[in-house]
Amino acid sequence: MRPILTAAAMRAVERRVIDAGTPSLELMERAGASAAVAAWRFGLPREVNILCGTGNNGGDGYVVARHLAERGHDVRVIAAAPLRSADARAMSARWAGPVLAYGEAKPAAGFIDALFGIGLDRPLEVGDVAELQRLGANARTRIAIDLPSGVGSDDGALFGVPFVFDLTVTFGANKPAHIIEPARSCCGRVVVADIGLGAIDSKTRCNAPPRLRAAVADVHKYERGSVIVIAGPAGAGGAARLAARAALRAGAGLATLACQPLALPENAARLDAVMLRVTPDVAALARVLTDRRIGAVVIGPGLGQDAAAKAKLAAVLASEVATVCDADAFTLCAGEPEALRNAAVLTPHEGEFVRMFGNLPGSRIDRALAAAARAGTVVVLKGPDTVIAAPDGRAVVNTHASPALATAGSGDVLAGIIAGLLAQGMAPFDAACAGVWIHGDAGLRGGTGLIAEDLPELLPAVLQGLA
Residues annotated within the binding site for K(+) are 57, 113, 149
Query: Closest Cα partner for 146 from 162, 168, 125, 128?
Result: 168
Contact 235, 302 (CB under 8 A): no
Plot region of 250 (φ>0 → left; ψ -120 to 50 → alpha; else → beta): alpha
Pairing of strands 167-171, 189-193: parallel
80 vs 85: CA distance, rounded Å: 12
Residues flagged as binding site for AMP = 382-386, 411
Contact 49, 111 (CB under 8 A): yes
264 vs 411: CA distance, rounded Å: 23
Query: Closest Cα partner for 232 from 263, 266, 254?
Result: 263
144 vs 32: CA distance, rounded Å: 12
Contact 45, 141 (CB under 8 A): yes
188 vs 177: CA distance, rounded Å: 12
Residues flagged as binding site for (6S)-NADPHX = 56-60, 117-123, 146, 239, 302, 349, 412
The kind and range of the H/E element at 275 are strand 275-278
Contact partners, residue 84, CB within 8 Å, separation at least 6:
54, 55
Question: For residue 56, how far is the Cα from the chain centroid?
Answer: 28
Residue 14, amino acid: E
Contact 457, 418 (CB under 8 A): no
| Residues forming a β-bridge with 224 | none
Q: Look at residue 321 and give its three-state secondary structure.
A: coil
236 vs 450: CA distance, rounded Å: 21
Half-sphere exposure of 378 toward its Cβ, with a 13 Å CA cutoff? 28
Q: Look at residue 12 and give its three-state secondary structure.
A: helix
